[in-house]
Amino acid sequence: MIAWFAKNDVAANILFFVIIISGIYVATTQIPIDLFPEVEQRNVRVSMVLPGASPQETEEGITIKIEEAIQAIEGIRQITSQSREGSASVTVQVEEGYDVREVLDEVKIRVDGVNNFPVEAESLLVQVPQWRRDAIGVVLFGDYDNMTLRRVAENVRDELAGLPEITQVEVDNVLPFEISIEIAEWALRQYDISLEQVAGILRQNSTDVSAGNLKTKGGDIFIRSRGQAYRASDFETIPVITTQDGTMITLGDIATIRDEFEETPLRTRFNGVPAIEIEVYRSGDESIIDVTTAVRNYIDKKQLDMPDGLTIDFWRDRSEPIKARLETLTKSAWQGLLLVIIMLALFLRPSVAFWVCLGIPMSFMGAFLFMPLFDVSLNLMSLFAFILVLGIVVDDAIVTGENVYSHLQKGEDPLNAAIKGTQEVAVPVTFGILTTAAAFLPLAFQTGRGSWYAAIPLVVIPVLLFSLIESKFILPAHLKHVKMRTEKNTSRLSKLQQKIANSLEAMIEKVYQPILAQAMRWRYAAWTAMFASLILIIGTIAAGHTKFVFFPRVQSEVATATLVMPAGTAFESTDRIISAMTMHAKDLQEEYRDAETGESVIRNVYSISGGRNSTTGRVQMDMIPPESRTVDVTTREVVNQWRKKVGQVAGAEQLNYRAEIGGWGGSPISIELKGRNTEALNTLGEGLKKQLEQYPAVSDIEDSLSDGKEELQLELKPEARLLGLSLNQVARQVRQAVFGFEVQRVQRGREEVRVMVRYPLEARQSIETLEQMMIRIGPNQEVPLWQVANVFPGLSPDSILRVDRQRTISVNADFDKEAGDLSLVLGEVNAWLSEQINAYPGTTFEMAGEARDQAESTNSLTVGAIGLTILIYILLAIPFKSYSQPIIVMSVIPFGLVGAVIGHWLMGMDLTLLSFMGMLALSGVVVNDSLVLVDYINQKRNEGVSLKEAVYTAGGRRFRPVLLTSLTTFAGLVPLLFETSTQAQFLIPMAVSLGFGILFATLITLFIVPINYLILEDFKGYMRRYKRDMLGLLKKV
């Protein structure tokens, strides 16, 4: 095949252009652009609503029943539940190796089989949560009321949904519509009617009924009644009572009807002005850049039609960081490519360098062909993968091209040189590519946070395989056109290049080979020195001089402050604090404004108070990227100033600040305390928080247990039973008056509107009015609530967390990874808890959050490393046809890992998860040079050359390709290593491991491989002599 393609230029070029053109087509039409890769959701969520119920009631009525129903399902790793006021959710984490859809189906069957949920329970939903890919937010803001903002927002939503580039858009952070029918107690008494009776009348009169078809000679005629009320005006005209004199009393006569929002308070502000947000999502194969461009064009046009004082703008355009990442990584790619070309042109002929580098675009286009098959988008990880492989992809072409060039230097015919030169290195090059591909393969099977990097091998491996195709079938057809220079056609540039190439040859002959000869002569001393150096460096690492940070803090372009006040706190109090935090953020916006450009580091401030929970709030600052700031300040410094300005918030249960990329795995410190004794959990939780306060690097300490919300508990008096009343009857009447009686739900456009009948708000605001509420015991018979029941105060938890069917308190905290060692702190906290837990029988604890993620990732990396070692050994043993020679090749791997650590020292960086992933990939890359050396030694020995001469010759003959493959790999990564943009920071450790590991391993490879080869042969010789001597002794006996 190699010879056939080398002789057939047309076939080689057709193959080349087919791959290039197909790759361009697929890249531009079928690969979506996104920020991060989509990760498979391995959770099943069960949620249910119990309107008006306390957390304890939802726990007993819903949560525990669901947990007991599903706890025996095979494939469940963990069950986590949250019981809140009016709702419960149960999250099932699925074990690796089990199909999520099958577990989902089994959970549905088990939950559907529960037949004793409370009657009022509704909205049962069992699903695998879908990852919604935010694209851009559209904000409407101005001094308008909520209803006006909502109406305009719905119109904007509908218009955006009509754009061809957009398929998914929603109005975000808004309250549902509600028609509230409020009837005072005096009206109910005057007309001797109850709320329940009113609700029944409304159901009978507010409805559409189909009455079938009338069969006429002209055809069927559909019959139906149209009485459904949709708005407050429709309900007002519904008759509810007819008096004895025939007077008709309508609902509007006895009730106040409000067609507004649910009573839950919510306030949204954009730069301190009332606002509402419309969120636009990317779905399917849509390009996030196309989606956001369409939205921003729409905003520019729509602003002209907006009412006076109402502004439309965008908020958090997620395509901006993608564009920045594309620009950063593309720039790094071009710079790396240029360095690779220069490096090759200096030591090889420029024409050879050109043909070698031509394989890069073809290999990249080949990878694009497979990205849709693997469901890989063009995102941060896949782009990084292309840069990572930029210098590696030419390794096989360099070895092939250099070998062909050597044959040309001997004066051979170009065609024969191309064929013979390619065939000579076909085996080591092929298996070198396979070992490199194998090294990246474990990254595809990482769990925990490591699963985010699965896109890297899905790009790197196809690139490598296509590079193999190019170097075997296309490159020889191009290299046969390379002509050797003559003195007549030598330019100044060519003379310079030839001088550099000759200098390398001279260095090999006069420096490297003499040192190699001495190392071969004193091989045991040299081996001992290198091994001792290896042990010394490993000992330095083990002694703790190299810090490990599982996932580094990389400053984000969005800073978020989250506030949680004690349960029962008035909304106005929460909103007042959020307003103050917003104003402090606005002050910082002015403080960090560039006097010359007028541009502030902080672009916009967005805040939300209330919503589903009136005691919570959030403030976000959108900032320009750190590398684009004209004011010298980091995101962390801005957040620290914000924290100082806000200060301590009296009574706040939680107040935390987050401003970093990569908070997917939870808080840096997260500890779960489990047990059945709530008091013991509270005591231990408080002690744990005090223990964490001792560490200066720990901040924003919080737990999941609130002080509790005030509640009123009803206790039936003996007199009530004499009147024939039960506690259930009394409680239901109180519920109908206070929470409300749901009449029906009306579909009004896109919105489902709940229709509620209840007491007026003023009758639901004090204990006194509650006690005066009339309880009906029969026709025209009623008594005040205080006569039949005692009302006394109590406390109810704001929410109840359960993990694996046990009540749990989660203690979380932030950690400054630059100021302390997180692993050390977690170890000390773990030891403290292990000692304290003995005083609380039945109580256990578990390290969660980042610690759990780190353990998962470490385990999967360990398994991957073991599997990779076995696979590399197999791939080396096959071409060598030897059990021992693969050990020679693999002996360089530890030195590569040490080089990776030294690289982190030189760059002033800590080791991270990405560092170890880089080391894993490095293990397959560093063996390529060793493979080429050992293969050449074997070739020479097969030709009859002596052992020492073969080893000595191999060192000099393969010095240039070994050096070039390493230098090009490093050169391809150099631009990324020194990149300062936010987008590249957490990826750099992997590039450091690979780049510096390759350089260090190359230096060692050129000596350790020849030495180990000789030592192995010494050992074999010794064993042969020993065997011969033993046989001689046996014969004498």
Residue partners of 876: CB distance under 8 A and separation at least 6? 431, 435, 885, 886, 889, 890, 927, 931
In a domain, 511, yes or no: yes
Using the 3D structure, point to which of 292, 317, 342 is the last residue of a domain. 317
- How confident is the model at residue 544, as a pLDDT? 63
Q: Are residues 569 and 438 in the same domain?
A: no
- How confident is the model at residue 2, as a pLDDT? 86
Position 56, amino acid: Q
CA angle 256, 262, 265 (to 5 degrees): 115
What are the tokens at 720? 């009530």
Backbone angles phi, psi at 647, to 5 degrees: 70, -165
Single out the residue of 808, 780, 799 nearest to residue 615, CA to CA: 799
Model pTM score: 0.79
CA atoms within 13 A of residue 437's CA, in its CB half-sphere: 18
**Separation of alpha carbons 1024 and 99, rounded Å:** 55
Q: Are residues 512 and 538 in the same domain?
A: yes
**Separation of alpha carbons 585 and 593, rounded Å:** 12
Residue partners of 522: CB distance under 8 A and separation at least 6? none
Position 668, amino acid: P
Q: Are residues 374 and 470 in the same domain?
A: yes
Domain membership of residue 572 as a residue range: 555-661
Q: Output b/e per residue, 114-129; b: 16+ Cβ within 10 A.
A: beebeebbeebebebe
| Residue 755: strand, helix, or coil | strand
Q: Are residues 151 and 21 in the same domain?
A: no
**Separation of alpha carbons 861 and 916, rounded Å:** 8
- How confident is the model at residue 926, as a pLDDT? 86
Q: Are residues 532 and 650 in the same domain?
A: no
Could you give the C-alpha distances from 516 to 212, 399, 510, 893, in angstroms and in order? 99, 21, 11, 20
In a domain, 190, yes or no: no
CA angle 656, 662, 664 (to 5 degrees): 80
Residue partners of 968: CB distance under 8 A and separation at least 6? 340, 343, 344, 391, 394, 395, 398
In a domain, 449, yes or no: yes
What are the tokens at 961? 């390709």
Query: Mean pLDDT per 10-residue run, the chain (1037 residues)?
Result: 87 93 91 78 90 87 93 91 90 90 93 90 88 86 91 92 91 88 87 86 87 77 83 90 84 91 89 92 84 93 90 88 72 74 75 83 92 86 84 82 82 85 87 90 76 85 92 88 63 72 82 88 88 80 72 80 86 92 93 88 92 87 84 88 90 84 69 85 87 88 72 79 81 82 86 89 79 78 83 76 89 83 86 88 85 82 89 90 88 88 87 86 85 86 88 85 83 79 75 89 86 87 79 71
Backbone angles phi, psi at 30, to 5 degrees: -125, -5
- CB of 603 closer than 8 Å to CB of 622: yes
Q: How many CB atoms lie within 10 A of CB 981?
A: 18
Q: Are residues 369 and 420 in the same domain?
A: yes
In a domain, 685, yes or no: no
Single out the residue of 516, 442, 397, 512 nearest to residue 928, CA to CA: 397
In a domain, 780, yes or no: no
Tell me, rounded to whole angstroms, the distance of Cα 1010 from its chain centroid. Answer: 45
CA atoms within 13 A of residue 722's CA, in its CB half-sphere: 7
In a domain, 805, yes or no: no
Q: Are residues 420 and 398 in the same domain?
A: yes
Residue partners of 855: CB distance under 8 A and separation at least 6? 448, 847
Using the 3D structure, point to which of 317, 344, 360 is the last residue of a domain. 317
What are the tokens at 905? 């020292």
Backbone angles phi, psi at 955, to 5 degrees: -60, -45
Q: How many CB atoms lie within 10 A of CB 224?
A: 10
Q: Are strands 177-183 and 751-758 parallel, antiparallel or unpaired?
A: parallel
What residues does 561 pair with on adjacent strands? 619, 657
Alpha-carbon dihedral of residues 920, 924, 927, 929, nearest 10 degrees? -110
- How confident is the model at residue 484, as a pLDDT? 66
**Separation of alpha carbons 204 and 189, rounded Å:** 22
Single out the residue of 37, 643, 523 nearest to residue 288, CA to CA: 37
Q: Are residues 338 and 442 in the same domain?
A: yes
What are the tokens at 123? 């909205």
Q: Are residues 328 and 312 in the same domain?
A: no
- CB of 970 closer than 8 Å to CB of 952: no
Q: Are residues 119 and 79 in the same domain?
A: yes
The CATH number of the domain where 652 resides is what?
3.30.70.1430
Q: Are residues 458 and 380 in the same domain?
A: yes
Count of domains observed in the chain = 4
Q: Are residues 350 and 301 in the same domain?
A: no
* CB-neighbour burial class of residue 778 (10 A; exposed 0-12, middle 13-18, buried 19+): exposed
**Separation of alpha carbons 324 and 319, rounded Å:** 8
Using the 3D structure, point to which of 299, 317, 335 is the last residue of a domain. 317
Q: What DSSP string describes 131-179?
A: --EEEEEEEEESS--HHHHHHHHHHHHHHHHTSTT--EEEEES-PPEEE
Q: How many CB atoms lie within 10 A of CB 514?
A: 10
- CB of 775 closer than 8 Å to CB of 733: yes
**Separation of alpha carbons 248 and 651, rounded Å:** 54
What residues does 814 pair with on adjacent strands? 699
**Separation of alpha carbons 762 and 755, rounded Å:** 19
Single out the residue of 712, 715, 711, 693 nearest to residue 702, CA to CA: 693
The CATH number of the domain where 405 resides is what?
1.20.1640.10
In a domain, 867, yes or no: yes
Tell me, rounded to whole angstroms, the distance of Cα 131 from its chain centroid. Answer: 10
In a domain, 194, yes or no: no
- CB of 558 closer than 8 Å to CB of 620: yes
Long-range Cβ contact pairs of 741-746 (< 8 A, separation 24 or more): 741/195, 741/196, 741/198, 741/199, 742/51, 742/199, 743/181, 743/199, 743/202, 743/203, 743/206, 744/202, 744/203, 744/206, 744/207, 746/179, 746/228, 746/229, 746/230
